[in-house]
């Protein structure tokens, strides 16, 4: 019997590395392997390959390459920026409750341990945080504050107006950490124009390898950042540990391809979501779209089919479409997504949220077929109720 994998519609969770990325990595995983911190020829070659990767990441972010610190992923990058700078921010750490747990939980930890007073950023119904709301939060005084915000929300897809928010923050003399894990592949970024102090990216959201990410940091903060990891003092002491050349080369290649192909990729993703929504409509199903209607990640849809719970839908869809839900089902009890709850949805509506995210290799056929499977699943679940 032939077994076929479900249509992959979970690129926002993890986007498979591009073939060019895998090819570039193989050399450094194989014949060219060396410790890039070693003082011999193979080590120097590996160090140069890592410097090239830093340059490519810098190009993607409109940033100086010297500010790029390799980490294990965006979770570590967010932890490094927030824990590393919290002690210097007597004005507190302000986060949005809609953001990834690697920001929200770090803020909670720092607050609960008395290391940095926590504050909340207000958002509207679409999850957008306005520059005025940020200014209002920061007006309480108390010294320099740190504001941490995801550029693109990983669950609802809303994109924040980072340039205007950055201006409001830096005009007040505060620091701005941006988690660009979800946007770096899709949205042009310039850390200087956006007045960003520190910024996180993640390899596997950028069609690069999983297990690596980076934190870019403004050089003015070099003497202020407390490292998370102590050891051999690699990467200027900001992050001890041997930099894995094959992963850094993979991330650098992914960054270059993201920049080269951004316009083309955005157009493809926009047409996939349009096709998908039209096909759902053609099948007689019109979902509620969650998050901002236009300022959103391309290819990323946060949806709700009223009356159909996300776990019911996902279990029916499992053989056909791989997608995700913010809801969690533990010991038979549905816990609705904390993000959708924080957006003001009641428990029932929040328990209906699903996320469909397409990628560069999604085909028109897949987008249409995914819509057909989802429409069938919604009808089946509603009929049962």
Q: Is 10 in the site for ligand PMP (CB under 6 A)?
A: no
Please report how close the Cβ of residue 220 comes to ligand PMP at its closest, in angstroms.
Answer: 24
Structure tokens belonging to residue 146: 């740190």
Q: Is 181 in the site for ligand PMP (CB under 6 A)?
A: yes
89 is annotated as an active-site residue: no
List the beta bridge partners of residue 329.
334
Please report how close the Cβ of residue 154 comes to ligand PMP at its closest, in angstroms.
Answer: 3
- Choose the catalytic residue: 329, 334, 342, 382: 329
Give the per-residue contact string, 35-74, with ligand PMP (x = CB under 6 A; - = no): --------------------------------------xx
Strands (E), the chain: 7-8, 68-71, 93-95, 118-120, 146-150, 175-179, 198-202, 213-217, 288-290, 300-304, 321-322, 324-325, 328-330, 333-335, 353-357
Question: In angstroms, rounded to a whole number, what is the distance separating the alpha carbons of residues 31 and 26?
Answer: 8
The one among 202, 235, 309, 324 contacting ligand PMP by CB under 6 A: 202
The one among 79, 96, 128, 154 contacting ligand PMP by CB under 6 A: 154
Question: In angstroms, rounded to a whole number, what is the distance separating the alpha carbons of residues 170 and 370?
Answer: 44
Q: Is 198 in the site for ligand PMP (CB under 6 A)?
A: no
Please report how close the Cβ of residue 156 comes to ligand PMP at its closest, in angstroms.
Answer: 11
Q: Decide whether 181 or 309 has the Cβ nearer to ligand PMP.
A: 181
| CA torsion, ordered 242, 245, 246, 252, to nearest 10 deg | 120
Q: Is 357 in the site for ligand PMP (CB under 6 A)?
A: no
Structure tokens belonging to residue 130: 């306005």
Question: In angstroms, rounded to a whole number, what is the distance separating the alpha carbons of residues 191 and 202?
Answer: 16
What's the Cα-to-Cα distance from 274 to each of 100, 186, 211, 374, rounded to whole Å?
Answer: 27, 17, 32, 15
Stretch that binds ligand PMP, among 179-187, 246-254, 293-301, 334-342 (CB under 6 A): 179-187
Residues contributing to the site for ligand PMP (CB under 6 A): 73-75, 100, 102, 150, 154, 179, 181-182, 202, 213
* Residues that are catalytic: 329
């Amino acid at each position: 019997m032939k077994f076929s994998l479900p249509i992959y519609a979970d690129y926002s969770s993890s986007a498979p590395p591009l073939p060019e990325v895998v090819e570039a990595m193989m050399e450094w995983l194989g014949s060219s392997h060396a410790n890039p911190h070693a003082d011999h020829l193979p080590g120097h070659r590996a160090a140069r390959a890592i410097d090239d990767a830093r340059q490519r990441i810098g190009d993607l972010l409109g940033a100086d390459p010297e500010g790029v610190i390799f980490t294990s992923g965006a979770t570590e990058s967010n932890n490094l920026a927030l824990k590393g700078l919290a002690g210097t921010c007597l004005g507190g750490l302000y986060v949005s409750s809609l953001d990834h747990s690697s920001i929200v939980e770090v803020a909670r930890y720092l607050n609960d341990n008395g290391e940095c007073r926590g504050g909340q950023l207000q958002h509207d119904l679409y999850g957008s945080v306005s520059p005025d709301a940020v200014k209002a939060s920061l007006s309480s005084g108390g010294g320099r504050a740190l504001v941490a915000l995801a550029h693109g929300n990983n669950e609802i897809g809303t994109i924040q107006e980072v340039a205007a928010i950055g201006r409001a923050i830096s005009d007040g003399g505060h620091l701005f950490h941006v988690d660009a894990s979800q946007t770096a592949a899709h949205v042009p970024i310039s850390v200087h124009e956006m007045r960003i102090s520190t910024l996180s990216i993640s390899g596997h959201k950028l069609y690069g390898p999983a297990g690596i990410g980076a934190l870019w940091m403004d050089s003015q903060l070099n003497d202020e950042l407390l490292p998370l990891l102590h050891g051999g003092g690699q990467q200027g002491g900001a992050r001890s540990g041997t930099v894995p050349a094959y992963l850094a080369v993979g991330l650098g290649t992914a960054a270059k391809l993201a920049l080269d192909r951004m316009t083309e990729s955005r157009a493809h993703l926009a047409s996939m979501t349009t096709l998908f929504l039209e096909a759902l409509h053609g099948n007689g199903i019109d979902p509620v779209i969650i998050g901002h209607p236009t300022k959103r990640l391309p290819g990323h849809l946060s949806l709700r089919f009223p009356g159909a719970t996300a776990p019911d839908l996902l279990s029916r869809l499992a053989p056909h479409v791989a997608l995700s839900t913010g809801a969690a089902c533990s010991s038979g009890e549905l816990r609705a997504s904390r993000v959708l709850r924080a957006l003001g949805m009641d428990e029932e509506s929040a328990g209906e949220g699903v996320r469909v995210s397409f990628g560069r290799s999604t085909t028109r056929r897949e987008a249409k077929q995914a819509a057909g499977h989802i429409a069938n699943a919604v009808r089946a679940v509603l009929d049962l109720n």
